[in-house]
Structure 1
Amino acid sequence: MNYFNYFTEIEDTFIRRRGKHLLLSSMDWALIESWKEMGVPLHVALRGIEHAFDSYNAKPRRRTVKSLLYCQEEVEAQYAEWMEAQLGAAEGEKNGEKIVEKRTEDARLPFPRAAILEHLNGARASLLMICDERKKSRKDDFCDALSRAASRLKELEEDFASAARPNAEKLEDSLTSLEKLLDEALLANLPANELASARVAAGEQLQPYLSRMERPVFEQTLDNLLLKRLRDAHGLPRLSLFYL
């Protein structure tokens, strides 16, 4: 599936059905990431949002929908139904869309090649700057991870620039792996009190929605929200092309 469409289609559908433009909150983005990581197909997530708003519009007295979390229960219900329907289905599907083995050579990139290269170069420069600043006070495994990630980004940039048929999905997989490496290194090298404080803050932000979320979804969303707080606090850039 088109990785980038997963987020943008969900955002566009929610805004369209709500009827008023409303920027998604960090909690909403964390929830979308949770659905993506759980393997909720895009079409299933969109159907859940549509059904949630259909039910909402049928109510005589309605409160304003302010968050994507309003649709969370219906999305999970639709996902459960979809999972049951998939029993016995052949493998080789991801997020509800068949993986096509052969793609046309002229498949279009999700973004212009120049924009992708600029994104990679900017991310590499940011990582090196963070590493240089950190080395002034200490040198730890996080510094090493930053340096390794920056070196790998340079390789990816050079390969993508010279490729006759650049593969954005393959690049995205590599960037996702680098993000996980950086996230793990950041968590492992944070002072215990800073990590605990950030976790408490993220938990407090999400706590009002605990009763409306399945425990696995709540925990995944909490982890995503925690990482977002920590990345922002330390200036760590997102590498995924979705954030281009």
Structure 2
Amino acid sequence: MKEAKSKYFQSIALHFFKHRGAPFFLSSKELDYIARWEEMEIPLHVVLEGIERSIEIYKRKPGRKAKIRSLVFCDLQVLKAFEQDRERKVGHKKRIVERHEKRDRAKAEIERFLEKIPHQINYLQEAYSLAQEVLSQSHFDEEKLERIEGKIEELLWKNSLDEEKERVKRRIAKDYKSKEEEEFERIFKIKLVKVLRDKYKIPYISLFYY
């Protein structure tokens, strides 16, 4: 068990060091995050996927020439990757999808969504219309899509009903082992947004999901 734990920590650290370079050690806070991921039973390949997503998103931000310096900044994408992994069907095989194909898929999903957007979430119409405009451009800005994605999640969180929040809180308390308040709130927010997306069939904006 101790050997498996050591491999989990070392694999994550080595993967991150390949991106960051020196210093070749992790802070106590970064080690705490890895410990939490392990406590939540997030598979190693999912953590690495979340780190890669974080790196790619960071690279696309304007004016960002430096590299991600801390694993802490990867936490959100690791948790999102974990949610996706939990929903994948057994035996499902991913294939490499070209960037333009992802764009076309996202654009089609958004168009269908805007045609029949539920009245309960009509407050998302402006954000999705903007995303549609961005994706219609020949040289579209993926960073702008990421910002719109973040705005959509904030709107879902802000406009969610109290009873929806309570249902999700009860489910998280049952499914997740982490007792840290900060960690619980982070997972709670991600899970609530995911529940609302599923309920109203809300498509993603970020091309990571296509």
TM-score, length-scaled by structure 2: 0.51
For residue 159 of structure 2, what is the aligned residue in structure 1? 189
Name the amino acid aligned to 2:123: D
How far apart are 1:219 and its partner, in Å?
A: 2.8
Quick check: 1:43 aligned with 2:21?
Answer: no
Distance (whole Å) between structure 2 residues aligned to residue 204 and residue 45 of structure 1: 36
For residue 175 of structure 2, what is the aligned residue in structure 1? 205
Q: Return 5+ residue gaps in structure 1 as ranges.
A: 1-13, 19-39, 53-64, 76-90, 98-109
How far apart are 1:200 and its partner, in Å?
A: 2.2
How far apart are 1:115 and its partner, in Å?
A: 0.6
Name the amino acid aligned to 1:93: A
CA contact (8 A) 1:124 1:154 kept: yes
CA contact (8 A) 1:202 1:226 kept: no
1:127 to 113, 124, 131: 113
1:228 to 185, 194, 200: 194
Name the amino acid aligned to 2:66: E
Mark the CA change 1:235 to 1:242 in structure 2 (over 3 Å): closer, same or farther: same
**Structure with the larger RCO, 1 or 2 (CA within 8 Å, 6+ apart):** 1
Q: Return 5+ residue gaps in structure 2 as ranges.
A: 20-24, 32-38, 49-63, 71-95
For residue 117 of structure 1, what is the aligned residue in structure 2? 103
Kindly name which structure, 1 or 2, has the bigger radius of gyration based on alpha carbons. Answer: 1
How far apart are 1:231 and its partner, in Å?
A: 1.7
CA contact (8 A) 1:121 1:154 kept: yes
Write out the 4+ residue segments of structure 1 that deviate beyond 4 Å after TM superposition: 44-48
Alignment of 1:163-178 (within 5 A): 163=139, 170-171=141-142, 173-178=143-148
SS of aligned partner of 2:172: helix
For residue 123 of structure 2, what is the aligned residue in structure 1? 144
Q: Percent identity?
A: 18
CA contact (8 A) 2:145 2:206 kept: yes
Name the amino acid aligned to 1:118: D
Distance (whole Å) between structure 1 residues aligned to residue 175 and residue 183 of structure 2: 15
SS of aligned partner of 1:93: coil
TM-score, length-scaled by structure 1: 0.45
Alignment of 1:6-21 (within 5 A): none
CA contact (8 A) 2:103 2:207 kept: no
CA contact (8 A) 1:127 1:236 kept: yes
Name the amino acid aligned to 2:127: A
> What CA RMSD, in Å, does the superposition of the two structures yield over aligned residues?
4.2
SS of aligned partner of 2:178: helix
CA contact (8 A) 2:109 2:203 kept: yes
SS of aligned partner of 1:193: helix
SS of aligned partner of 1:209: coil
Name the amino acid aligned to 2:178: Y
Number of aligned residue pairs: give it.
143
